[in-house]
Each structure stands twice: as C-alpha cells, then as structure tokens.
Structure 1
Amino acid sequence: MSTSAVNTDIRLVVLDMAGTTVADDGLVERAFQAASDALGVEAGSPEHQRMLEHVRATMGESKISVFRHLFGAEERAQQANVAFEAAYHDLVDAGHCEALPGAAEAIAELRAQGRKVVLTTGFSRSTQDQILKALGWQEIADLTLCPADAGRGRPYPDLALTALLRTETDSVRQMAVAGDTGYDMLTGVRAGAAVVAGVLTGAHDAERLRADGATHVLASIAELPAVLAQ
C-alpha cells in the first residue's frame, strides 16, 4: 500500500464495479468472444488476438468506445456492442456474478463514515442495472452512473465529475476515486481527486496503476475505509 498522505475531508468516494467491487472472472473476455463471433472474426486468428489484447489494455473504458476502435464503422460497433451485452447478460443470469470479498462491507463502512458512495461502470445502463439486481445492490450506494449518464466514459473525468455534481460535493479535493484499471486512475487524476486508489483485484497490475496516477495501491477495496479513516 502507498504511504501517501490522505485528505481527511473526503466526502465522496467514486468506485468502479467490475474488477473493483464486483468479480470479473473473465466475463468481459467471454462476452467479447461473442461480440467478435457476431462480427465474423475467427477465434484464435491474429486479428482476434490483436483485438483481445486491446480489450485487455483498455479494461475500464466505455465498451462502445472500445468497439468503435476495433470495428470502425458505427453500425459494426453497435452490432458488436449488442452481442457483447447479450452475452454478458446471459452470463449474469447464469449466476456468474458475485461481489468481491469485503466489497459490500467496505461500501457500508464508507457510508457509515459519513461519505457518499457512487458506483460507476464502463458498461451500459442496462448491463449495470442487471449486475446490481443480481447482487441485490440496488440500494447499496448513493448513486450509480454509466457513461451515458455522464457524457463520456473513462479515461475522461466525466463520470467522477458527474458524481461530484449530482451528490453536491463542494470540491474535487473532497473526492476519492478507486478502481482496478489504469483508465480508472486517469479518470481520478483528470477529475482532480485527492485520492486515486488502485486495487489489485482486477485487470491491471501495480506498475500500470502507478504509471497512470494512483496515489495508493491496495490489495482490495476492503482496505479503502481504513485508508480514508487514517
């Protein structure tokens, strides 16, 4: 864990979902396989491998933005996104969706400390809502946001700043942003968050998280309440 000083007046905590508070367990890659199949990309081909590497590198980014990069034309990107979401929804419906250990307790503790908690995602609203329903998390946070709610997804600051505006938080320096990807870190940095915490339960390692601006690197989100309470 980083020993960086913590602003003791953190009033808003913006948390990523998949890989940070919700276990991914390869679901994104499995759903991407369905999307690439729908677009006629042969599994195991050099093109497929190149696309999969891009998906891994851009974990945390808005999924439609990823598909626009991979497939170019808007119609093809939308087709891939529809196939991705359908596959992801099927995986969630089949029971392949669970909270990371200590995540629900951490969210409850953060709120008990008097901080507002906002859950954010790179998924669409329908996918986000399905995950929240599967976990019974519809009321766990003060607010939930997807890219469509904010204008742009990660790595832009829009999700974090929208969380700040909607919770009527006074200053970006009263905000902490936490996630498992470099894109989460960039979002926090660009939004001016006082704490940008990377967790090692998801897509990217400590080196990538620090390179993209993490002020703290934690084993999991379960450590965050204690860090902010210091």
Structure 2
Amino acid sequence: MRDYKLLIFDWDGTLVDSIGRIVMAMHQAADQRGMPRRSDEAVKGIIGLAMPEAIRTLYPELTTAEHVERFHASYSDCYLAIDRIPSAFFPGVEQSLASFLEQGYQLAVATGKSRRGLQRILDALGWQDYFDITRCADETASKPDPKMLHEILEHCGVPASQALMVGDASFDLLMAQRAAMDSVAVGYGAQTLTALSAYGPKLSINHFMELSAWLNQTVAEPLTEEIEHVG
C-alpha cells in the first residue's frame, strides 16, 4: 500500500449528506424558471460539476450565459433556503477527519461547490483553518479537469503518488485519473459503486470509517476486495 501524505475529499455526497437537498433545490429552481423537472437520477448525475456546467448539461436548451445565470441564481436561492442549517456529516466523518489530522495527514477539499457556498459552511463550523487548502469550482476549472488537484498538490508540496482523492461521483474519480492520483469511491452519495468501479478506484466503501481502517492497514486484503464489489 502506498504511503499517502495528503487526503483530498469531495464535499457533497462524500463528507456531508446533502444530495437530497441539491436534488430538491434543482427541482424548485426548474419550477421557478418554468423548466421541466429532470429526474432525481439525472440531477445526481451532474453533482460535482461546476454549477453553470451542471445546468447546461441538464438543460442544453438554455443557450445563453444569461439564461444559465438566471437558473443558477434561482438554484442558489432555493438551496440556501433549504440549507439554512448546513447538511449533516455522514456517520464517522468528523471522527475520522480528526484522527487523520492527529496522524499527520494533510487534508484538502476539492469540490464543485462555489467558494461562497463552501465558505458559508466552513464559517458556520468554525473550520476556516481545518483543511490545508480547499478548492472550489468557481475559482478553478470544473471537474473532471485535474487543475484543482494540481493546485492542491502544488500548495501542499506533495506528489500525486502520495495523494488520495476520495469522492462519490465519476467526475471525482476521473479527475484523479487525469492527475495520475489514486482514488477511493464512496457508495453512499450521488452514484453507485457499480458505476464508479469503471474508474479504477483503489478502494470502494459504503461507510466513511472504512477509509480509516484501510489506511491503517487493519482491513485484510480479501475483505477489501469484497468491499470493492458491493453495488
């Protein structure tokens, strides 16, 4: 097993249980803009992209930047109304992150959220300095472009071979692939482990604390292989 120094996490659907709120806000925004609602699965399929790109993917008929921006504004208003109290962390996340810090890992976030959206949550948690660096889609290239990972690696002074990307979407794992970085797929967020298996994750998990066990080499190799094939 590689000696990882840097752990990079997606936010929505990986650390926090926000997928349902994102889907609801997208549906409400569609209603406000007089657009047809897309299916829950279609909305889940764009989570992780920068929001303008996500909207264009769901609604290619919005052909101008102005129309996309109006939809984006409606989505942001709807999401803020739903997420007045920030979404809860998935079980085991807070304990595991604290343990990773104690073990000396550098921690980072690579998210499709806007800087404003992520900062609102970090401020509410008092986590302004919790991560070594956070990168958001509106300040760099959208996933699956590896630019945000390259920026994180440069900031932390860590090579890609000693970093690990943890995410719940194909965009996360494909971004890691393009950065020559190992990845971990989580199956409790936007996409299934079956869908994510195509991107060659080193580990696939259904509970966040399985990551800590794997990093500490407390999970036997046969069990790891079994976890990887859970759908």
TM-score by length of 2: 0.85
Inter-partner Cα distance in structure 2 for 1:91 and 1:49: 19
Percentage identity across paired residues of the two chains: 26
The reply to whether residue 29 of structure 1 matches residue 23 of structure 2 is yes
> In structure 2, which of residues 7, 13, 17 is the aligned counterpart of residue 19 of structure 1?
13
One-letter amino acid matched to 2:88 = E
Aligned to 1:76: 67
* 1:14 and 1:119 in contact (8 A); partners too: yes
> In structure 1, which of residues 103, 111, 131 is the aligned counterpart of residue 121 of structure 2?
131
Aligned to 2:82: 91
Structure 1 stretch displaced more, 217-226 or 134-143: 134-143
One-letter amino acid matched to 2:188 = T
One-letter amino acid matched to 1:133 = D
Inter-partner Cα distance in structure 2 for 1:79 and 1:203: 25
Deviation of residue 123 (structure 1)? 1.3
* 1:89 and 1:130 in contact (8 A); partners too: no
Inter-partner Cα distance in structure 2 for 1:53 and 1:73: 25
Aligned to 1:164: 153
The reply to whether residue 188 of structure 1 matches residue 179 of structure 2 is no
Query: In structure 2, the residue corresponding to 1:227 is in which secondary structure?
Result: helix
Inter-partner Cα distance in structure 1 for 2:201 and 2:51: 23
One-letter amino acid matched to 1:66 = A
Structure 1 gaps, min length 5: 1-5, 42-46
Figure out how many residues of one structure are paired with residues of the other and give that number: 214
Higher relative contact order (CA 8 A, sep 6+): 1
* 1:92 and 1:134 in contact (8 A); partners too: no
Aligned to 2:46: 58
One-letter amino acid matched to 2:2 = N
Deviation of residue 25 (structure 1)? 4.8
Deviations 1:79-106 (A, max 9, x none): 111111121122221x251111111111
* 2:176 and 2:183 in contact (8 A); partners too: yes
Rate the CA distance shift 1:175–1:96 in 2: closer, same or farther, 3 A: closer
One-letter amino acid matched to 1:85 = S
Deviation of residue 53 (structure 1)? 4.3
Deviations 1:141-189 (A, max 9, x none): 222110133x2121111221111111121x1101100011111111111
Inter-partner Cα distance in structure 2 for 1:28 and 1:219: 21
Deviations 1:108-138 (A, max 9, x none): 2222221110012111111111222334433
* 2:51 and 2:113 in contact (8 A); partners too: yes
Rate the CA distance shift 1:114–1:96 in 2: closer, same or farther, 3 A: closer
Aligned to 1:40: 34
Structure 1 stretch displaced more, 15-24 or 206-215: 206-215
* 2:6 and 2:107 in contact (8 A); partners too: yes
Deviation of residue 74 (structure 1)? 0.7
Inter-partner Cα distance in structure 1 for 2:163 and 2:22: 28
One-letter amino acid matched to 1:28 = I
One-letter amino acid matched to 1:155 = P
Inter-partner Cα distance in structure 2 for 1:53 and 1:100: 20
> In structure 1, which of residues 216, 222, 225 is the aligned counterpart of residue 203 of structure 2?
216
* 2:48 and 2:171 in contact (8 A); partners too: yes
The reply to whether residue 229 of structure 1 matches residue 216 of structure 2 is yes
Inter-partner Cα distance in structure 1 for 2:129 and 2:207: 22
* 1:156 and 1:190 in contact (8 A); partners too: yes
> In structure 1, which of residues 142, 150, 166 is the aligned counterpart of residue 132 of structure 2?
142
Structure 2 gaps, min length 5: 218-231
